[in-house]
Structure 1
Amino acid sequence: MAPQPAPQPIEFRLAGDPADTEGWIIRSKLLNRPGLRDLAAASSRRALLLDPSQGAAWAERAFALTHCGRHAEALHAIGRALALDPADPGVLFRLTVALQRRGDFPACRTALDRLIHLQPDFPSHRWGRAQVRLHEGEYEEGFADYECRYWLDEYQQQAYRPHQGPRWTGQPLDGKIIMVTTEQGFGDTIMMARYLPLLKGLGARRVVVERAEELRRLFDGMAGVDAFVPRDVAPTPIYHVHSSIMSLPHRFGTTADTVPPPPRLTIPEEARAKAARLLGPRDDRFRVGIVWSGNQGFNDNHIRAAGLDRFLPLLSVPNTAFHSLQKGPPEAELQALGPDTPITALGPEMQDFADTAAVLEELDLVIMTDSSVAHLAGSLGVPVWNLVQHVPYWVYGRTGPTTPWYPSMRLYRQGPDEDWAPVFEAVRGDLERLAAGR
């Protein structure tokens, strides 16, 4: 049997034949990832100019446009793909993504139900339905669907370390040791820590909790927890049952009316002394903390983050003093403004969440786009104005200025056009009134 030729790199293949429709579709699929969606959309368009009957090209174009916020164009592309094959599960899946990102949840739910009927064993469809249900406050059904995440490919690869032994399913814990593991981001862990003290009430003999080093001081001495262990510790401590911390709302049967209050967090005195030194003596100005970006490793951070430039007009509000709590690469945006910018950079001084908590305690208000600091401020009861994208994290629901998870949080929402300008205009007006009345 003659040896098969090695596959050609896609760019080389297209350079040799720019009329290769399949090549442009493959290129679009390869580029359909964060930061490259515009290129993916352009590649699928090249394929469609060559052959508009290519349903795969319409589907890839729709997926790319959805993640670029071009929802009307995305739905048009999906319509063209469905016209070619009305029962293609891949196209239907892209339809659900487009409808969810647009905020059309009734239509999204209908499409998801159809997908689940066609492919009942695909966890991604139940995962999509979980997001819709949780956004709409249907917590019991939503958290039940949320459990399907264990079978998502990307989840198994990145988000969760599998543990041996039986998973806790909500039964009484009489005399048992339960191991609670963490997943997803720091904000999720801080938010769900409210359930840890409740486990003793179900009869647990010992509650052992996995914890990242960044949360060590903040969680020290938490009520109802017998021991914390570092994440990815080996060997795993002895336990009878285990549970992810993100499964606890489901196991406790949480509804929108029964969300428990945040737990008491620990702020060490040395952290408080450090915060006092960093902020200096109080004067009559309104102390405002700002954060403009979350973890840049999060796929949708480019949607939820607004950039420091959006916050700069707030600096002219009289009787205010601004302090940056930003951490990570986005700190460079503040450094680029130079030393005369009237924003105190506290990010480099905060080594863990206990340091951040101590600073938050000294502020009058935090204005920010969504990140772990929002969950920390909300858990501490610090007033926080959380500026969220049109379809935000499910915790914030779809409408209204409040969330049952954080009574001290006020939500400012983008409209369907996903424009930040009206959000910051509203924030500036409210801040002017608040600072003037101080």
Structure 2
Amino acid sequence: MQSEADDAGKARDEEDRLRKAAEAALDADPSDAEAWSILGLLLRRAGKLEEAIACHRRGLEHAPDNGSVWTNLGNALTEAGRLAEGAAAQEEAFRLEPRNRTVLFNRAVAFRKAGRYADALAAIELAVKENGGPTALLRWERALTRLQIGDYVHGFDDYEARRRIPSYRARPPSAPPWNGQSLDGRRLFVTTEQGFGDALLVARYLPMVKKAGGRLIYECHSELRRVLSGLDLDDWRPWGAPAPTCDVEVSQMTLPMLFGTTLASVPPPAPLTVPAEAREKAARLLGEREPGTLRVGIVWAGRSTFADNAWRATRLAPFLRLAEIPGVRLYSLQKGPQEAELDALGPAGRLVAPLGPHLEDFADAAAMIERLDLVIMTDSAVAHLAGSLGAPIWNLVQHVPYWVYGFTGERTPWYPSMRLFRQGPELDWAPVFASVRKALHDEVRRRAAQDALTATPL
């Protein structure tokens, strides 16, 4: 079987061939618009977005009516966060080539990423018509759009198309799929796909699966094993281990569809387990809270390998402004390479207590969160952890966030204890942090008044 490394090597070879061909074409004719656009496409894949945009613009100087160049420009602009410009470029491509299937698809994606959901759905339906039916990629785009606006009934149905898109990565099937009906004692293997946050999100369905009357075998990341250990399951398998003998299987991300989830019927989060030894560690590290203070956990980035992380993450610096508020004490729950930003603070590092080095798994993180007054963070798995614990959490989300958070308002039915602070279409975090600082001032005053009331003798 061909490995991912083999695929990556072939992709690099093909990109090298395209680059050399485009450069040779431009040596022969500097006005070759297609060659300019190929260079732009390769630069975009390498993450050099501004250079990519400049190459596409140069191509359009020589071929302003080339729809393919316009749609490539639109992709680069959207990826660079210039959402309105990206959508406008796709509209121009559509005007020039209204039946080009690539243009139709790219136009729909640009609308969704700009938060223009009605336009995205209309663009998808036009693309479906031109394709003679919904392709897997079109169904996937439609799923993301429908879920974002809360159309779970149709959205989860389309979400199953993920299995047929080229970028999908999950274990191959090892048994017939479960259809949600009674198990009558059969063995069901629940497989894990996507990240830690997704596993925490849909763990709420496992007790419902158990009620179907079978033997439930759950594939679990080792980092989540302790915090999910209280669930009534029959057997556990480490993530990525060979599939067990079973009668049927189901992916965890299919469970919301099988249980007919709507906005009004989202189940409560799964009950989590925080072991005594994790609580003892947290008590030892955090001690007792000083009266009149607010202990705030912070996270500014998720996994760097997650494709959308650059959009949802920020840096440590804007969180440090929260330390200026009298009474606020910051505690970092950050894990991974971004922890290096704490080391770079030097003497100012005393403003943030680093808990990350003490977190061996999500159970340790849960114990820390239990002893904090509030968690403020950009979206990542810790948000799902805090939300599942019912802990107060302020989640700072990108303009078009994970579909769980919808597209408007401060609340999500998936996590009642979570308050959402939303980025605007300009993708600027500054107004978000301004709102957070104001809200945190209010929270400190509220907590100080509460402490004073508690301290007043009867």
Aligned match of 1:53: 65
Aligned match of 1:3: none
3-state DSSP of counterpart to 2:337: coil
- Deviation per CA, 1:168-193, whole angstroms, max 9, x where unpaired? 12222122111000111100001100
1:215 and 1:394 map into 2 onto residues whose CA distance is: 23
Query: Which residue, 59, 67, 77 being the options, matches 1:65?
Result: 77
- Tell whether 2:181 aligns with 1:132: no
- Tell whether 2:234 aligns with 1:237: no
- Deviation per CA, 1:128-176, whole angstroms, max 9, x where unpaired? 1111111111111110110010000100xxx311122211122221221
2:91 and 2:255 map into 1 onto residues whose CA distance is: 39
Letter in 2 for 1:140: V
3-state DSSP of counterpart to 2:217: strand
1:324 and 1:34 map into 2 onto residues whose CA distance is: 31
**% same residue:** 49
3-state DSSP of counterpart to 1:366: strand
Aligned match of 1:160: 170
Work out whether residues 34 and 299 of structure 1, in 8 Å CA contact, stay in contact via their aligned partners in 2.
no
1:208 and 1:154 map into 2 onto residues whose CA distance is: 27
3-state DSSP of counterpart to 2:84: helix
Larger mean Cα displacement after TM superposition, 113-122 or 284-293: 113-122
3-state DSSP of counterpart to 2:263: coil
- Tell whether 2:197 aligns with 1:187: yes
Matches for 1:339-350 after TM superposition, within 5 Å: 339-341=347-349, 342-350=351-359
Aligned match of 2:419: 410
Distance change (3 Å), C-alpha of 1:185 and 1:348: same
Aligned match of 2:373: 364
Letter in 2 for 1:247: T
1:34 and 1:135 map into 2 onto residues whose CA distance is: 29
3-state DSSP of counterpart to 2:226: helix
Aligned match of 1:253: 260
Q: CA deviation at 1:22?
A: 2.3
Letter in 2 for 1:195: Y
- Tell whether 2:397 aligns with 1:385: no
Q: CA deviation at 1:117?
A: 2.0
Larger mean Cα displacement after TM superposition, 283-292 or 65-74: 65-74
Query: Which residue, 97, 107, 119 being the options, matches 1:85?
Result: 97
Distance change (3 Å), C-alpha of 1:282 and 1:34: farther
Larger mean Cα displacement after TM superposition, 121-130 or 366-375: 121-130
Matches for 1:115-126 after TM superposition, within 5 Å: 115-119=127-131, 120-126=133-139
Work out whether residues 14 and 24 of structure 1, in 8 Å CA contact, stay in contact via their aligned partners in 2.
no
Q: CA deviation at 1:11?
A: 6.6
Work out whether residues 26 and 32 of structure 2, in 8 Å CA contact, stay in contact via their aligned partners in 1.
no
Q: CA deviation at 1:401?
A: 0.5
Work out whether residues 66 and 97 of structure 1, in 8 Å CA contact, stay in contact via their aligned partners in 2.
no
Query: Which residue, 10, 20, 24 being the options, matches 1:9?
Result: 20
| TM-score of the aligned structures, taking structure 1 as reference length | 0.94
Letter in 2 for 1:103: G
Query: Which residue, 26, 31, 40 being the options, matches 2:38?
Result: 26
Q: CA deviation at 1:8?
A: 7.0
Query: Which residue, 286, 291, 299 being the options, matches 2:299?
Result: 291
Distance change (3 Å), C-alpha of 1:7 and 1:367: closer
Letter in 1 for 2:74: A
- Deviation per CA, 1:316-373, whole angstroms, max 9, x where unpaired? 1111111000111111112111143310011121111111111111110000000000
Aligned match of 2:406: 397
1:402 and 1:121 map into 2 onto residues whose CA distance is: 33
Q: CA deviation at 1:301?
A: 1.2
- Deviation per CA, 1:207-253, whole angstroms, max 9, x where unpaired? 00101111111122312x1111011212x211111010000000011
2:357 and 2:24 map into 1 onto residues whose CA distance is: 48
3-state DSSP of counterpart to 2:298: strand
Larger mean Cα displacement after TM superposition, 23-32 or 264-273: 23-32
1:247 and 1:269 map into 2 onto residues whose CA distance is: 33
Letter in 2 for 1:142: G
Work out whether residues 130 and 142 of structure 1, in 8 Å CA contact, stay in contact via their aligned partners in 2.
yes
2:25 and 2:342 map into 1 onto residues whose CA distance is: 42
Q: CA deviation at 1:34?
A: 6.7
- Tell whether 2:151 aligns with 1:151: no
- Deviation per CA, 1:86-135, whole angstroms, max 9, x where unpaired? 11111111111111111111111100111122222511101111111111
Aligned match of 2:451: none
1:95 and 1:22 map into 2 onto residues whose CA distance is: 20
3-state DSSP of counterpart to 1:264: coil
3-state DSSP of counterpart to 2:346: coil
Letter in 1 for 2:329: A
Query: Which residue, 22, 26, 50 being the options, matches 1:38?
Result: 50
1:313 and 1:149 map into 2 onto residues whose CA distance is: 40
Structure 1 segments of 4+ aligned residues over 4 angstroms from their partners: none
Aligned match of 1:277: 284
* Greater fraction of residues in helix: 2
> Structure 1 unaligned runs (5+)?
1-5
Larger mean Cα displacement after TM superposition, 23-32 or 180-189: 23-32
Aligned match of 1:300: 308
Distance change (3 Å), C-alpha of 1:249 and 1:34: farther
Matches for 1:87-126 after TM superposition, within 5 Å: 87-119=99-131, 120-126=133-139
Q: CA deviation at 1:7?
A: 7.4
Work out whether residues 19 and 42 of structure 2, in 8 Å CA contact, stay in contact via their aligned partners in 1.
no
Larger mean Cα displacement after TM superposition, 121-130 or 180-189: 121-130
- Tell whether 2:196 aligns with 1:169: no
Work out whether residues 19 and 38 of structure 2, in 8 Å CA contact, stay in contact via their aligned partners in 1.
no
